Structure formats: structure tokens, C-alpha cells
Amino acid sequence: MLSRKTKYGLKALSYLARCEEDAPVQISVISTAENISLKFLESILLTLRKAGFLGSKKGKGGGYYLLKEAKDISIAEVYRVLEGPIALVPCVSLNFYEKCDDCPDEDKCSVHGLMIQVRDSNLRILENTSLEDLINKI
Amino acid sequence: MLSRKTKYGLKALSYLARCEEDAPVQISVISTAENISLKFLESILLTLRKAGFLGSKKGKGGGYYLLKEAKDISIAEVYRVLEGPIALVPCVSLNFYEKCDDCPDEDKCSVHGLMIQVRDSNLRILENTSLEDLINKI
DNA sequence: AATTTATCCTATAGGATTAGTAGGATAAAC
DNA sequence: GTTTATCCTACTAATCCTATAGGATAAATT
């Protein structure tokens, strides 16, 4: 299951991508438009800024804006920043690998192969979907 | 991320599927073989029995055994029982549908379409993989 | 310079979920 | 009737999720 944090983050990014102008958008505007708690959204946007997706401006006329073009932001990147690993188990994660403490030998684990299949299929989708794709769907 | 409950459940089912004989297998045997806490495994097997995957026998010589052939148990079914929805968000779940409180209109949600794609791709894998496939991979 | 506006940032609270444990009840076999 | 093994409810500790509080900082306006 996707956390609200990730879902809200994706919706906020989509909102910004739909604002074609470069003018910064205030948190409160996004929060109202997308029905997201203002303070929660604030912390999410902060995370996205630190991760390099967003720029910000303080003071009057300030707000957040995309640093890259929507077509150059893959959902997989956003997912990893907000949600963490795309894989279902750490032992098949490419970016967050961890050994399972219950498995003496990964190759003999009956679940391992399936988990790789699921990971690859999800990767294929998330890496090949951009923010632009999200807002261009009908 | 997959919970330990589901992972342990799949490993336990795989263990039972590998025991070709019909003789019941004790929890403690599986627990030792798969490095799973005995009491935790006990509760998992109980769930799987109530869901119709396993039969059990009490007393000496008792234990758990598969009720169906391994090839007739799809991982999707097991997943739903132990983990819950396969979908990443409730609003695209086929078996656990719930409306999102932040979305006035699902069709206008920028994330919705992507979530359906992910769901379908995962469904395709999990429904077409049987317990037999799990133990037959090399 | 003072005020307003909006982000920055740390800390924290409350609830839900997860992972596991305790311990007696029940039933089958010997 | 003793042993064996599942059955079942309840409980706990730890972690994670969602959200909030409240002041610090910086930019623009007056």
C-alpha cells in the first residue's frame, strides 16, 4: 500500500506540473486544491525540495516550483524519495538492499524469484512513467 | 513492502508443498527449517487454515498439510489473505475497494491511472504464479 | 526600519500496525 | 490418563504513519 505521503507528494507535483507558468505556487494553494492537510503537505514539499525536485522562494509571491521539466521527472525517483524501496522485500531492492535475517541463502529462498519478477515489472512501469505522463492521461 | 507475516506464510506453504507425502508437518519443524518464530508461525498457519489453504491434525503425529495441490494455489489468493489488497491504493482495489477521502473525482486524480497499471501488472504475476511454480524455480 | 508573507525546521503527539509472546483450552493418540 | 500438538484469545513492545505546533528565517512591501 502507498502511504498518504507519497500519494500527496505525487498529487502536489502533478499540480505544479499543470501550472505551466514558472511562478511559485504557495503550499496553501496546493493544499486547498488537492484536499491535503497544509502542515503535512509542507513537510512533504520540504522533502521533495531537499531531494532536488523542487525549488522554493520565501516571502510574498513565494512558493514552490518544479526544478526540472515534467517529462524529465520519473515517478520511480519520486517514489524512492517518499516511499522508499520499490521492491517488496529488501533482499531484492536495487537501491535499498538488505539481507534477510531468516534466509541463509537467497538463492534457495522460494519467494526470492517471485519478488524479483514483481520488482522488475513495477520498475518498468514507474521508471517509464514521467510526471508529464501523469497529467496527460485522459 | 511485504510484511513478515506474508513472507513467512509463503515460505511455510512452500515447505509443505515440498513435502510430497500427505503426512502432517508440525509447526516446530517448519519453524526450525525456515527460521521463523514458532508462536508467530503458529498464528500464521492458523490464518491459512481458516482461509482454506491448510488442514490440520491435533495430537501426536499431528500438524499441518496442504488441502489443495500446489499447482492449484495461486500466490494472489495467499497474498490477499495474509497481506490484504494487492493494489497500492484502496480506490483501485478489486477486492478491497474504498473511496479516497481526498479525491472528489477518481477520474480526475492524476495518480489513479498509474495505480491501475501497477495493480494490473502485479495481478498478472501473482495470479499466474502457483505454489508449485515457487518450489520449481531453479 | 518595520511589517507582512511564506517557507524552513525541529520536535512531538496520537493512533495504527507489526512482530512476536503468554498461557491455558481442546482434541487426538498411545 | 498422560503426552502431544494444535486452537485461541489476549497482550505487549516497538515502529511507522499522519498530522500538528510553533518559532526561525528570509524576501518583499510599505
Instruction: Parse chain A into domains and list their residue ranges.
Output: 4-66, 73-136
Q: Tell me whether B134 touches chain A (CB under 8 Å).
A: yes
Scanning the structure block, which residue is given the C-alpha cell 495474509? B82
Q: Residues 71..110 of A with a Cβ closer than 8 Å to B: which?
A: 75, 84-85, 88-90, 101-104, 109-110
pLDDT at B21: 76
pLDDT at A138: 52
Query: Nearest chain B Cα to A14, which residue?
Result: B110
Q: What is the share, in percent, of chain B residues with pLDDT greater than 90? A: 94
Confidence at B119, pLDDT banded by 50, 70, 90: very high
Q: Is strand D less than 7 A from the beta carbon of B28?
A: yes
Query: Nearest chain A Cα to B100, which residue?
Result: A4
Low-confidence ranges of chain A (pLDDT < 70): 138
Scanning the structure block, which residue is given the C-alpha cell 500500500? A1
Give the architecture (CATH level 2) of A4-66: Orthogonal Bundle (1.10)
Provide, in whole angstroms, the distance separating residue B134's CA from nucleotide D22's C1'.
53
Average pLDDT over residues B119-127: 98
This prediction has a pTM of: 0.95
pLDDT in tens, B5-61: 999 999 999 999 999 777 999 999 999 999 999 999 999 999 999 999 999 999 999
Nucleotide closest to residue A24 (CA–C1'): C6
DSSP string, B56-119: EE-STT-EEEESS-GGG-BHHHHHHHHT--SSSSGGG-SSS----TT-S-GGG-TTHHHHHHHH
Cα B93 vs. chain centroid, distance in angstroms? 16
Q: What whole-number distance in Å separates Cα of residue A34 and Cα of residue B102?
A: 7
Average pLDDT over residues B105-126: 96
